[in-house]
């Protein structure tokens, strides 16, 4: 198992109100799997993704990534672990406006302090891989939503992550662009063996996943 969770809970406190977003989730994801996290809105999908992706801490329970217990990891090690081992794709693309496509993709590599020319070479290869070779020197405003999301995917792959996490990456895209993104994920998964965890609530996305973990009311639906 590349990701394992034991009785994971997350409770948000909003003033006097407690929201039990996760109520005891024990599940696992194998290396090389393309897993869909599905379920109704508010069922805890994003919360689970954020915890598994080490972007937030659980209220209780354990998470192991590659056999390593995350809760005992010091803050700095966790940050480094995220940068080296994890890639993230969100629904809002988060492309930096003043940087070109190529520079955006290079950012996580430069963040790791790798050699500049090496980073640019890898970034350039990734920009080609996601089908944006002809747009490498364009800025965000010259790109469609689907193209921006492909930049975000190339950026997520920059540091050869063990796991790519995507939270509703097609939420703001039309069907054709969504299909392109899903085809790209599928190709990265089958050709590269990239482990991928993607949240979606669109039933038609299910055909792209190896397996679905279904959430309901903060629990995994058996
Ligand atoms: N930061 C937060 N503060 C308070 N409540 C939150 C927060 N994030 C999520 N929630 C609540 O937790 C529950 C699960 O949310 P979420 O994980 O975003 O569900 P999903 O992604 O399946 O729509 C919902 O009731 C939501 O309102
Ligand atoms: Mg969500």
Could you report the per-residue pLDDT of 71-84, keeping only the tens digit for each?
Answer: 889 999 999 989 99
pLDDT in tens, 195-215: 999 999 999 999 999 999 999
Percent of the chain predicted with pLDDT > 90: 96
The bound ligand whose nearest atom lies closest to the alpha carbon of 41 is 1
Distance (angstroms) between ligand 1 centre and the Cα of 148 equals: 26
Does 154 reside within a domain? yes
Give the Å distance between the CA of 200 and the centre of ligand 1. 15
Q: Does residue 105 lie within any of the structural domains?
A: yes
Angstrom distance (rounded) from CA 141 to CA 117: 26
Atom 4 of ligand 1 has which residue's CA nearest to it? 12
Residues 194, 198, 202, CA angle at the centre, nearest 5°?
A: 135
Find, among 35, 30, 28, the residue nearest to 4 by Cα: 28
Instruction: Identify whether 112 is part of a domain.
Output: yes
The residue-averaged pLDDT of 163-178 equals 96
Q: Are 2 and 52 in contact (CB under 8 A)?
A: no
Per-chain mean pLDDT for the chain: 96
- Whether 160 maps to a domain, the answer reads yes
Pocket test for ligand 1, best of 21, 50, 56, 216 (most atoms within 8 A of CB): 21
The answer to whether position 186 is within a domain reads yes
For residue 185, tell me if it sits in a domain: yes
Confidence of residue 143 (pLDDT cuts 50, 70, 90): very high
Q: Output the CA–CA distances (angstroms, integers) from residue 93 to 11, 14, 111, 130, 166, in the order listed.
A: 27, 28, 18, 14, 11
Assess if residue 54 is contained within a domain. Answer: yes
Domain residues for the domain of 154 are 32-58+73-220
Cα 218 to ligand 1 centre (Å):
9
Q: The domain spanning residue 105 has which CATH number?
A: 3.40.50.300
Write out the E strands in the chain: 3-14, 17-29, 34-38, 60-65, 68-69, 86-89, 163-167, 195-199, 211-216, 219-220
- Residue 1 counted as domain residue: no
Share of the chain above pLDDT 70, in %: 100
Overall number of domains in the chain:
1
């Amino acid at each position: 198992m590349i990701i394992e969770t034991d009785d994971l809970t997350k409770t948000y406190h909003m003033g006097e109100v407690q929201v039990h977003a996760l109520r005891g989730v024990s599940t696992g994801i194998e290396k090389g799997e393309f897993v869909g996290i599905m379920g109704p809105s508010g069922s805890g999908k994003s919360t689970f993704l954020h915890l598994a992706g080490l972007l937030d801490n659980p209220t209780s329970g354990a998470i192991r990534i590659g056999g390593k217990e995350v809760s005992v990891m010091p803050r700095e090690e966790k940050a480094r672990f995220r940068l080296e081992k994890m890639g993230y794709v969100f629904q809002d693309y988060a492309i930096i406006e003043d940087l070109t496509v190529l520079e955006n993709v290079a950012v996580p590599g430069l963040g790791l302090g790798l050699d500049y020319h090496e980073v640019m070479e890898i970034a350039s290869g990734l920009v080609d891989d996601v089908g944006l070779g002809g747009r490498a020197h364009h800025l965000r405003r010259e790109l469609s939503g689907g193209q921006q999301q492909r930049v975000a995917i190339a950026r997520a792959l920059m540091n050869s992550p063990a796991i790519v996490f995507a939270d509703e990456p097609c939420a703001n895209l039309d069907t054709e662009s969504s299909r392109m993104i899903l085809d790209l994920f599928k190709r990265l998964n089958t050709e590269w063996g990239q482990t991928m965890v993607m949240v979606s609530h669109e039933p038609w996305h299910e055909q792209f996943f190896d397996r679905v973990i279904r959430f309901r009311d903060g629990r995994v639906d058996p």
